[in-house]
Structure 1
Amino acid sequence: MDMVVRTNRAPNAGETLMGQAFALSPGGKGANQAVAAARLGAEVSMIGSVGKDTFGSEMLEIIKQEGIHIEHISVSETEATGVASIVIEEDGENRIIVVSGANMELSAEDIQMLAPVIQQAKLIVLQLEMDLAMTEQAVAIAHGYGIPIILNPAPARRLKDEMLSQVTYLTPNETEAGILAGMTVDSIETAEQAARILLQKGVKNVIVTLGAKGTLLVNAEGTKLVPGFPVKAIDTVAAGDSFNGALAQQLVSGKSLEEALRFANAVGALAVGKAGAIPSLPYLPEVENFIKHVSDDKELKS
């Protein structure tokens, strides 16, 4: 559950500021990505854990209402549902602290028991808000079955080369790419350099998200910048999650990687134009209409 505070700017150390608004909003990286894919037409099953508390009950109901299969989401008797404390500044930028709570109870042993569920998937999407050993095991299981893997390496941390070598699509932002590659990423050029380092570790496709600039795809075939869609940002919460969910849905539906990235850029642009995490995630007709209008505008200008 996201606890969202809106303010003109984030406070400095030791400083107290008055905020403009507060809201509770359903979120969590896995839930956001699952809902994003489901709203675009994918059939989604979610593996995870919530607490036996009000937030947990609410999250399960929300995810179920989105048409997502929840039978593999466990309910912890001892840990609280995960929460995120989010400060959103006037320009839409955000600062987030995540307390994983029940998410961390899902173990490598638990995920091994769910290997038959993973085996049925056309693609799996993971992030790093869970126990790392469990995530490594999930990646190994999917890789063993030849199932494509999208790993969104957030919150950022260093990962073992063995795990990276099993990832089909790695989707870091600039900060995350820098941490994974052990360098500073502050431009398209340095993003490509970091991606090349990650390719050497065995990742098949590195997709660095660059905000309004779009995404940088780097793989064995070369480098391609897929332009973004400039929009006014209300807040950037769930922008990356919406991108990953859209990428998954498009790949499963048979689109080429470049087509999928352009579509996912559009979904991310729509998500930053609305407040909240799950409430900001668009439905398929919205995305198709947005892309059509952008294309029509380009034709009129040319």
Structure 2
Amino acid sequence: MSQTESSAPRTDGILIVGSTTADLTTFSHRLPSPGETILGDDFTLVLGGKGANQAIAAALAGGSAYMVSCVGTDLFAPMLTDGLQQAGVNIEHVAQVPGPSGIAHIRVDDSGENDIVMVPLANAALSAAQIDAAFLARASSSKVLLTQLEIPWALTQHAIRRAHECGLIVILDPAPATPLDEAIWPLVDIVTPNETEASRLTGIVVSDADSATAAGRWFTARGAGHALITMASAGAILVSETATQHFPAIPVVAVDTTAAGDAFAGYLGAALARGDDLADAISQAMAAGALTVTQRGASPSLPQRAAVEALLDVYAGVAH
């Protein structure tokens, strides 16, 4: 692996259980209407998937990232595994299964907004046994679990339960949003929906800080430790059972919002894994997400830790 380990055992690892995809992205002035064909401006083919993006972000943030996922046997597979390794992600628990790798078809307009169709394919082959093997090998050297909803929900639940049993900090990015078994919320330390996902999960239309707070309280009332509602240029709202805190956005010019949430989750997980307090970890995550939207693509847009720290320094100077 490209990431070296010291002789002393580390206990600050991040386990990422989730999806790996080949991202096929088109860029155009606007998104087409149903049934319409338009001419685009550019096309990219890169490593993506919410799980892989979060793993890469965690590794770029300086964390020991252990990916648990599946890729296929198609021509995309080497691009996916090589991309993870080159970013410093441990792929011992990435399995190769017969058939095609997962695919995400992404469309991006000139404002940076996107829509995505994700086809799981190989990601659907992930198993509880594979997750168990990863926990057996890595839970003792890890502090955080990152997981999402681009793998079968039963397996996301399984990973959350295992992480909770092992005493890991459980961070759930509930995307793509779908109704979830409410028994899982007491096992989740931090849930990180954006405004759209929070609206779909809670039934509360999130449009401002007050509605985000109400949505956050929906999660904490069901047992989640913290709800962290992200709202793009409106910043983020952190809700616990007893308090609410607003984190302002760092103003940037958005080119492509793909993977911004994944950068946020990866940097949040890496910061908590190395012992930073939650407020500092969120500030780092906000800066990582802000930098990500200034570049095109999924994994290629994820920022290096030095760039995140530099942006935080600049923003702190401006803010004061």
TM-score norm. by structure 2 comes to 0.90
1:60 to 76, 81, 86: 81
- Cα deviation, residue 169, structure 1: 0.6
Question: Normalized per residue, which structure has more strand?
Answer: 2
2:112 to 89, 92, 104: 92
TM-score norm. by structure 1 comes to 0.96
| Matched length | 298
- State the distance in 2 between where 1:81 and 1:237 align: 20
1:116 to 131, 136, 141: 136
Determine the structure 2 residue equivalent to 1:242: 263
- State the distance in 1 between where 2:218 and 2:65 align: 32
- State the distance in 2 between where 1:42 and 1:109 align: 25
Determine the structure 1 residue equivalent to 2:27: 6
Q: Which runs of 5+ in 2 are unaligned?
A: 1-21
| SS of aligned partner of 2:176 | coil
Determine the structure 2 residue equivalent to 1:202: 223
| SS of aligned partner of 1:165 | helix
- State the distance in 2 between where 1:275 and 1:119 align: 34
- Cα deviation, residue 221, structure 1: 2.8
Does 2:168 match 1:154?
no
Determine the structure 1 residue equivalent to 2:187: 166
Would the aligned equivalents of 1:107 and 1:131 in 2 still touch at CA under 8 Å?
no
Determine the structure 2 residue equivalent to 1:81: 101
Code of the residue aligned with 1:89 in structure 2: it is D
Would the aligned equivalents of 1:35 and 1:245 in 2 still touch at CA under 8 Å?
yes
| SS of aligned partner of 2:187 | coil
Would the aligned equivalents of 1:227 and 1:262 in 2 still touch at CA under 8 Å?
no
**1:259-296 alpha-carbon deviations (Å, 9 max, x no partner):** 11111101110000111111111111111111112222
- State the distance in 2 between where 1:32 and 1:83 align: 14
Between the two proteins, what is the percent identity of the paired residues?
38
- State the distance in 1 between where 2:204 and 2:194 align: 13
Code of the residue aligned with 1:115 in structure 2: it is F
- State the distance in 1 between where 2:41 and 2:31 align: 12
Q: Which runs of 5+ in 1 are unaligned?
A: none
- Cα deviation, residue 184, structure 1: 2.0
Would the aligned equivalents of 1:228 and 1:262 in 2 still touch at CA under 8 Å?
no
Determine the structure 1 residue equivalent to 2:248: 227
**1:201-234 alpha-carbon deviations (Å, 9 max, x no partner):** 1110000011122110000231100111010001
- State the distance in 2 between where 1:15 and 1:264 align: 37
Code of the residue aligned with 2:88 in structure 1: it is G
Determine the structure 1 residue equivalent to 2:5: none
- State the distance in 1 between where 2:185 and 2:295 align: 33
Code of the residue aligned with 1:63 in structure 2: it is L
- Cα deviation, residue 117, structure 1: 3.1
